[in-house]
Amino acid sequence: MDIDDILREVDPASHGIPLETRDLQALTRLWVAERSAPELLNWPADGLFERVNSKIKSQIERIEDMTGDMDPKTNFALIVIQTELERYKFLVRSYLRTRIAKIDKHTLHYLSTEALRQRLSPTELAYATRHQALLHNHYLSSFLSSFPQRLQNLNDTAGNVSMIDSPDLDTAVFVRLLRDKDVYGKGTDVDTILPAANGDVLIMRWSSAKGLVEDGDAELV
């Protein structure tokens, strides 16, 4: 079974799957989506990461318990668990780092409105605020403080040029449809409406795909 099968199986209706499996699937999906989307996506609000963290903790403890055992059978199980743990940790790490990279790139943009701030987790918000303050201080002490007062801002929008850089929402992303739907895509010359079936993979602008992904009609690949 490869990752696509796993992802396809994710269905809110399937309560037969244990919570742990669903968490892992949710994490994998979040990771894939975060890596392909040009802008920062919402931080999962349902306590997914608290659960993931406690799982990792308990696995680490389990490994510590098992290490003392010299039985070759446990040794084998140990390797399996450790490998799984490393992979789990990699998913979380890569996910968090991707988010941090995006936040660092467009800090002021994500701090500018309340709606955008909501996308960050509390720790990320603290990090972003502090990082921006550090940067501003650095600029100030390096050169900005000797500038005339009205040129000291970092968020000027005068002259139709905003100093706040924001992510390009029109970049292309690949999405896979999760149900049959007519997909509306914005084009360079003409907008098109394309009938697409469940499982189709399309390439389209993120600005057009965003709604589909948020409604659960499609997922990023």
Partner 1 sequence: MYGDLGIKLVQHAKRTQNLAHLPPYQTELVRAVTREVRDLNKDVDDLLEPFQGSFDPSEDQAIAYTLLVNHISMRRNKRCLLAYHRTRTDKLEELVWNGVDVVDLSGQQVRDAGASRGNTGVASGDGSTSSLSPQEEDYVRQYGDLLAAYKGQWTDIDLTGSLEPPRDLFIDVRVLKDAGEIQTEYGAITLTKNSQFYVRQGDVERLIAQGYLQKLS
State both tokens at 45. 């609000």
Is residue 134 classed as helix, strand or coil in its secondary structure? helix
What backbone phi and psi angles, to 5 degrees, belong to 205? Answer: -70, 145
Exposed/middle/buried for residue 102 (C-beta within 10 Å: 0-12, 13-18, 19+): buried
Amino acid at site 120: L
Least distance to partner 1 from the beta carbon of 186, Å?
31
Least distance to partner 1 from the beta carbon of 163, Å?
8
**Which is closer to partner 1, CB of 130 or CB of 179?**
130
Taking CB atoms within 8 Å and a gap of at least 24, the contacts of 124-127 are: 124/43, 124/99, 124/100, 127/100, 127/103
Least distance to partner 1 from the beta carbon of 1, Å?
18
Least distance to partner 1 from the beta carbon of 43, Å?
13
**Which is closer to partner 1, CB of 87 or CB of 179?**
87
Contacts to partner 1 by CB under 8 A: 53, 56-57, 60, 67, 79, 82-83, 86-87, 89-90, 92-94, 96-97, 100, 104, 123, 126-127, 130-131, 134-135, 137-139, 141-144, 146-148, 151, 154, 159
**Which is closer to partner 1, CB of 95 or CB of 206?**
95
